[in-house]
Structure 1
Amino acid sequence: MSEELEGKHGVQSLEVGMGILKAMVFGKRSMMLKDIAAAADMPPSKAHRYLVSLIRSGLVEQDPLTSRYNLGPFALNIGLVAIDRLDRIRLGLTAISELRDAVNETTALAVWGDNGPVIVRWERPRRPITVNVVTGTTLGLLSSAVGRVFGAWLPPAQIKSILRRELDTRKNLPPGVETQEDAEALLAEVRNQGIAVISGNYMFRGVEAVAAPVFNFKNELTMSIVLVGVEGSIDMSAESPVIARLKDAAHSLSQRLGSTREAPGPC
């Protein structure tokens, strides 16, 4: 077999070994041999042979008391190095650029700042009339789609002071939100829907937006992707292909950052 052909075929035994590691990663806990074999779709005897080699390499370890297998110290080192080299903002910028090209709407990326969610970059669509988003803008927690995403998935203690301030000053509060209980119900609905949608009654007249959460390897909220448009320009229905694209983009970015959360369902 030529080197070129061999390179295209790869090393099958390595791919099988990676299949076992993937089964253990998605198992989210230490596992018995039979469970690993079932998840990797192979006989236990075959899985055991591969596990012996993976243990020797440090990628897997076995608890002598329970006989369960778990990821080993070298697997942990690989993960830590990968996380250290991962530039979440760079990946996020690529994601909003690709989403803008797919849906031809203004897209933006937001992260959590000292005083709330902050826009770090936006991409202009190819439309004669667009909505501009100012980089560095701090958005309201309850009055913006991005803010509602952070309010819905960040720990309550992290948003407590900002939420209290917005309720006390009553600036740009959404219709029907008067109390802490009202705000919590609004954010619970965002979690239930998997996205935050504002169409009409937005903080800026004639503008609508829909935002989705992006999670990291700890399955914690790390960023938000948002679509912003002139009111009536974005299909906000449950079957909207534009919102489906947004959800897919946010989920794909979450996976790239190591999240194991399931893909969101339809609205």
Structure 2
Amino acid sequence: MEIAKKGTTIQSLQIGIGIVDLIAKEGRPLKFTEICELTKITKSNLYKYLNTLTQTGILYRDKETGSYVLGSKLIEYGMAATAEENVIDRITPYMQEINAKCLSTVLYSIWTNSGPMIVKEVNLKQGYNIGAQVGTLLPVLSANGKVFASFLEDKVVDEWIEKELVHLSEEQMQNFKKECQTIKQREIAFAREPLVSNVSSVAFPVFNYKKQLLGTVTVVGFSDMIPNGEEDELSQYLIRLSKEISATFGYKS
């Protein structure tokens, strides 16, 4: 294979990467017309790029809305680059145990520059589709998002929180900050129907030996099956299990 000379580039590859970068930076699903308007690429050429990126798994096209988001292949690349796969291998048996006990979908997410992203889903004991899948970005007011907002301290995280909560009043913002302080103390978060009616979530952090947040495990299901406070028996079970999971990465509570 011939090595490319320094300074030479493949324009079509640059354009394709530019499309992926655009969708990543927007942090939301984009329709064909939006991508076309933002990139100024002709419709015929853009269709070819999007079709190629979708077929390779780099992008995902929602069949119902036609919108494009980052695909599962990028998750694979990211996990390979950060050795995240090892984390997922360790926690998957725990996720399966939680799924069997709670009869609800169990998600594992990690932090990205666009917000918390699902990288693993276990849904063996529950037929209800919550609409979340690998590659989905989760909002700050979900139980998952609250965990990241509580335990991550970074300029990018602060900007994400500010952007997500721009519509809240000053009082609501103060209440959110108080809730985050409580989550820091109790290491469990709750959200009642943050996105979909009758669907709620509970989440807990996964720490390493330095108490750095590796990711978040979230249980999502019908509201009557999801606890709304730490005194609930299911909440106590999740708190115990969260400590056990983090202990496998060297964390001592």
* Same fold by TM-score greater than 0.5: yes
1:201-212 equivalent positions in 2, closer than 5 A:
202-212=194-204
Select 1:229's aligned residue among 209, 216, 221: 221
After superposition, what is the alpha-carbon deviation per residue over 1:40-96, rounded to whole angstroms, capped at 9, x for unaligned? xxxxxxxxxxxxxxxxxxxxxxxxxxxxxxxxxxxxxxxxxxxx8991121122221
Q: Residues of 1 paired with 2:158 and 2:108: CA distance?
A: 23
The code of the aligned residue for 1:103 comes to C
- Do the aligned partners of 1:130 and 1:229 also contact (CA within 8 Å) in 2? no
Q: Residues of 2 paired with 1:226 and 1:116: CA distance?
A: 15
Q: Residues of 1 paired with 2:169 and 2:135: CA distance?
A: 23
- Shift of the alpha carbon at 1:196? 0.8
Q: Secondary structure at the match of 1:232?
A: helix
After superposition, what is the alpha-carbon deviation per residue over 1:82-115, rounded to whole angstroms, capped at 9, x for unaligned? xx89911211222211221232221111111111
Is residue 196 of structure 1 aligned with residue 189 of structure 2?
A: yes
* Shift in alpha-carbon separation, 1:161–1:242, aligned structure 2, 3 A: same
- Shift of the alpha carbon at 1:159? 1.2
The code of the aligned residue for 1:134 comes to Q
Cα RMSD for the two superposed structures: 2.6
TM-score by length of 2: 0.60
* Shift in alpha-carbon separation, 1:174–1:97, aligned structure 2, 3 A: farther
Unaligned ranges ≥5, structure 2? 1-82
Match of 1:216 in 2: 208
Match of 1:160 in 2: 158
How many residues end up aligned between the 2 structures? 171
- Do the aligned partners of 1:131 and 1:230 also contact (CA within 8 Å) in 2? no
Match of 1:151 in 2: 149
Match of 1:20 in 2: none
Higher Cα Rg: structure 1 or 2?
Answer: 1
Match of 1:244 in 2: 236
- Do the aligned partners of 2:143 and 2:191 also contact (CA within 8 Å) in 1? yes
